C-alpha cells in the first residue's frame, strides 16, 4: 500500500497545504475554550493565535460555536468587550495575531523580482460595523503592508477577501524564528492610526499601521467573531482548506503541547520512568508528542506535591524541574533532597487533581527573548 507523506507546515503547492495559517478554522484550543478578565497580551484559547491586548479594555476571549451557516465550520474565535476604553492613548492596541516562521515562507520569493502576492480570506461577524484593518508585518526587514475591509451588516457573518502584492524588497530569514506577523487590528490609539495607511509595502511606521480602524473597545456591547482564516500565495482566494483534526492538532503541537493533565483523567497519570543516579536525584526523560519548533519552556503546576517520582521508597517532591529541554524532549530531575535509592527505577506521575505539565515553543516567546537580550546588551554598553 502506498503511503502519502504529509508535507511540513508551511509547504505550499497547487492543492495541499496552501494555507499559511495554522488553525484557521479555530478548531484546536489546547489551552482552554475561554479566558475572562483579559487585560494583557498572551496566547489564550485557540491555538497559534496571539491575543495582543495592550492596556485597551477588558475582554472575555473564547472558542465559540457561532459559525457561518453551511460553510463547514464548527468553531470560531470570539472577542467580547467587558470593560470599555473609548479613548485609547499611548501604545494602547488590540490585535489578533499569528506569527509565522521564515523557513515556511521561502516559496513566496520575497525580496526578489518574482515575489508572490498573498491573498487572505476569512469569515467575520460583529455588531460594530465599519472599517477594520488586516496587516502583514515583515519583522526581519522592518517592513509592513495594511489593507482594509468593511463589516457592512451588524451581527451577520460576512466573507472578506484582501490581496497583498508581493514585496520585492527584503528576503525573509530561512529559519524557525518569526519572520511574518499576520495581524487583525481591532483597535488602536492615535500612535497607530494618525498617519496614512500603508496600502503598499513600505518601511515600518507605527502611525501608518491601522489608519481608519474602528475601536472595538468603545462599548461593552461589542463582540467580534472570526473563522475560516486562509492566507495563500496568489491573487485569488480558494475555498478554505479543511485539514483532518489529527493533522491540525499535530501542527499546533509544534508550538504548544500537553504532556499530562490530571483534569482530563480520573486518577494519577504516569508520564515517564526514571532512575535514581544517587540518593538525592532521579532523572527521567520526556519525549514530546511531536518535535517542537525550538527548545521548549516547561509550564508546570505550582500546586504543592503536584508531582512525584514513585518507587520503592515513594518519595514525594513539590515540583518538577526541567534539567535539559530540546525540541524533541525534556530531561527531568527531582531537584529535591528526599532520599531515594541509587540504581532504582521510579515512575514520574501527576499526583494531584489540577496538576498539569505542558511545553511551549511559541514564536512570540522567542521574540521577547531576543528583545531582552538586546536590552541587556544596551545596558552593558551604557554602564
376-to-138, 142, 178, 332 alpha-carbon distances in Å: 24, 21, 21, 29
pLDDT at 74 over 60: yes
Portion of the chain with pLDDT greater than 90, in percent: 70
Closest residue by Cα to residue 140 from 114, 195, 103, 166: 103
pLDDT at 260: 87
Query: Residue 297 corresponds to which cell in the numbers above?
Result: 519552556
Portion of the chain with pLDDT greater than 70, in percent: 85
Indicate the pLDDT class of residue 25, thresholds 50, 70 and 90: very high
Task: Please state, in angstroms and rounded to a whole number, the distance separating the CA atoms of residues 169 and 110.
Answer: 7
pLDDT tens profile 323-340? 889 999 998 887 665 678
pLDDT tens profile 339-362? 788 888 988 888 777 788 899 999
pLDDT at 5 over 50: no
What's the mean per-residue pLDDT of the chain? Answer: 89
Q: Which helix (H) or strand (E) holds 367?
A: helix 363-382
Task: Please state, in angstroms and rounded to a whole number, the distance separating the CA atoms of residues 161 and 237.
Answer: 7
Task: Please state, in angstroms and rounded to a whole number, the distance separating the CA atoms of residues 22 and 8.
Answer: 12
Contacts of 375 (CB under 8 A, 6+ apart): none
Report the range of poorest mean pLDDT among 51-60, 165-174, 192-201, 361-370. Answer: 361-370
Q: 3-state SS string over 206-270?
A: HHHCCCCCCCHHHCCCCEEEEEEEEEEECCCCCCCCCCCHHHHHHHHHCCEEEEEEHHHCCCCEE
Task: Please state, in angstroms and rounded to a whole number, the distance separating the CA atoms of residues 224 and 166.
Answer: 29
Long-range contacts of 314-321 (CB under 8 A, 24+ apart): 315/339, 315/340, 316/351, 320/348, 320/357
pLDDT tens profile 129-154? 999 999 999 999 999 999 999 999 99
pLDDT at 370 over 80: no
pLDDT at 255 over 90: yes
pLDDT at 383: 43
Indicate the pLDDT class of residue 366, thresholds 50, 70 and 90: very low
pLDDT at 380 over 70: no
pLDDT at 220 over 70: yes
Amino acid at each position: 500500500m502506498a503511503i502519502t507523506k504529509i508535507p511540513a507546515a508551511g509547504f505550499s503547492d497547487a492543492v495541499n497545504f496552501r494555507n499559511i495559517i495554522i488553525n484557521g478554522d479555530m478548531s484546536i484550543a489546547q489551552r482552554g475554550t475561554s479566558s475572562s478578565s483579559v487585560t494583557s497580551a498572551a496566547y489564550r484559547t485557540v491555538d497559534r493565535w496571539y491575543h495582543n491586548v495592550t492596556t485597551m479594555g477588558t475582554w472575555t476571549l473564547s472558542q465559540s460555536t457561532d459559525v457561518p451557516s453551511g460553510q463547514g465550520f464548527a468553531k470560531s474565535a470570539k472577542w467580547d468587550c467587558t470593560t470599555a476604553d473609548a479613548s485609547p492613548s499611548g501604545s494602547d492596541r488590540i490585535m489578533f495575531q499569528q506569527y509565522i516562521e521564515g523557513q515556511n515562507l521561502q516559496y513566496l520569493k520575497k525580496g526578489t523580482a518574482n515575489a508572490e502576492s498573498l491573498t487572505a480570506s476569512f469569515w467575520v461577524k460583529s455588531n460594530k460595523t465599519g472599517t477594520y484593518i488586516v496587516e502583514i508585518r515583515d519583522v526581519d526587514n522592518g517592513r509592513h503592508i495594511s489593507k482594509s475591509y468593511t463589516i457592512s451588516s451588524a451581527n451577520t457573518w460576512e466573507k472578506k477577501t484582501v490581496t497583498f502584492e508581493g514585496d520585492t524588497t527584503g528576503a525573509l530569514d530561512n529559519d524557525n524564528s518569526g519572520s511574518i506577523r499576520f495581524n487583525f487590528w481591532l483597535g488602536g490609539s492615535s500612535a497607530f492610526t494618525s498617519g496614512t495607511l500603508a496600502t503598499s509595502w513600505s518601511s515600518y511606521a507605527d502611525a501608518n499601521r491601522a489608519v481608519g480602524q474602528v475601536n472595538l473597545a468603545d462599548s461593552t456591547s461589542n463582540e467580534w467573531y472570526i473563522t475560516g482564516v486562509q492566507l495563500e500565495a496568489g491573487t485569488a482566494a480558494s475555498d478554505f482548506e479543511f485539514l483532518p483534526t489529527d493533522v491540525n492538532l499535530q501542527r499546533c503541537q509544534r508550538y504548544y503541547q500537553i504532556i499530562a493533565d490530571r483534569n482530563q483523567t480520573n486518577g494519577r497519570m504516569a508520564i515517564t520512568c526514571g532512575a535514581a543516579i544517587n540518593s538525592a536525584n532521579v532523572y527521567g526523560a520526556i519525549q514530546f508528542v511531536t518535535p517542537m519548533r525550538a527548545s521548549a519552556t516547561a509550564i508546570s503546576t505550582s500546586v504543592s506535591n503536584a508531582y512525584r517520582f514513585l518507587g520503592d521508597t515513594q518519595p514525594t517532591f513539590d515540583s518538577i524541574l526541567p534539567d535539559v529541554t530540546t525540541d524533541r524532549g525534556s530531561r527531568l530531575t527531582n531537584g529535591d533532597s528526599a532520599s531515594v535509592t541509587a540504581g532504582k527505577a521510579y515512575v514520574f506521575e501527576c499526583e494531584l487533581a489540577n496538576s498539569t505539565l505542558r511545553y511551549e515553543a511559541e514564536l512570540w516567546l522567542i521574540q521577547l527573548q531576543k528583545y531582552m537580550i538586546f536590552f541587556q546588551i544596551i545596558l552593558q554598553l551604557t554602564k
